[in-house]
Structure 1
């Protein structure tokens, strides 16, 4: 079965870019533009990896991650942020967060990280 990735970002350009890139690599890609949509998607679809922006409308990215932890949802997370250097230290202690990406990111590097994460 194809592995699934959920891309959560309020910028449509980033969602489309990642969706095109990842579908070309054979992944099933879902997208959401805010944390509320992300939680709904996770509730209705099996997700292997979630790429989520730190700053989101309605429900913030970090709130989504904390909710998943509370619900004991096991999925790998790549956190994206325009200000990765300003993220609180607690972020790096969350076990499901496998990678923190600074925006703008190199899509080829991101593709490599994702393929490595999902290869296991």
Structure 2
């Protein structure tokens, strides 16, 4: 089964880098540098995994996370270069955050995380 991954990051270069790496691993990757567009995308498509940047200019990440979560019950990985670690730990303990990846990240770590997460998912309940 070909896993479909959505990358939501305000930096198009980061989106393209992640897409290139994951396409090379055999994944189907959709990139979205516009967070509100991501909401439309998750309403109309299915994804095995979503990589969501915490720091997208002009957007409340937690609000965006919850709005995406309303349409996608699959795994969401939050990515951030600087974030309050206590907030992330608390959110994870409360079941709000599935996984967290610190930026900048090593490409090997990205590959390893995505392989592990997509290998765990038999059925994705994202999208329609």
Question: Normalised by the shorter chain, which TM-score bucket?
Answer: 0.7 to 0.9
Alpha carbons of structure 1 residues 94 and 10: separation in structure 2 relative to 1, 3 Å: farther
- Deviating 4+ runs (over 6 angstroms): none
Q: How does 1:53-72 map to 2 (within 5 A)?
A: 53-69=53-69, 71=70
The alignment's TM-score, normalised by the length of structure 2, stands at 0.81
- Where does residue 52 of structure 2 map in the other structure? 52
Deviations 1:91-118 (A, max 9, x none): 3235363321111111111110110011
Task: Determine whether 1:84 maps to 2:80.
Answer: no
Q: Distance in 2 between matches of 1:87 and 1:45?
A: 33
Contact persistence 1:8–1:15 (CA under 8 A):
yes
Partner of 1:33: 33
Q: What's the CA shift string for 1:35-87, capped at 9, x where partnerless?
A: 20111110111011100100113533321211234x26301011001113446
Q: Hey, what's the Cα distance between the residues in 2 that align with 1:55 and 1:83? A: 8
Specify every segment of 5 or more residues in structure 2 that has no aligned partner in the other structure, as ranges: 121-128
SS at match of 1:95: coil
Corresponding residue SS for 1:97: coil
Higher relative contact order (CA closer than 8 Å, sequence separation 6+) = 2
RMSD (CA atoms):
2.0
Aligned residues: 119
Aligned CA distance change for structure 1 residues 39 and 58 (closer, same or farther; 3 Å): farther
TM, length-normalised to structure 1 = 0.86
Q: Secondary structure at the match of 2:101?
A: strand
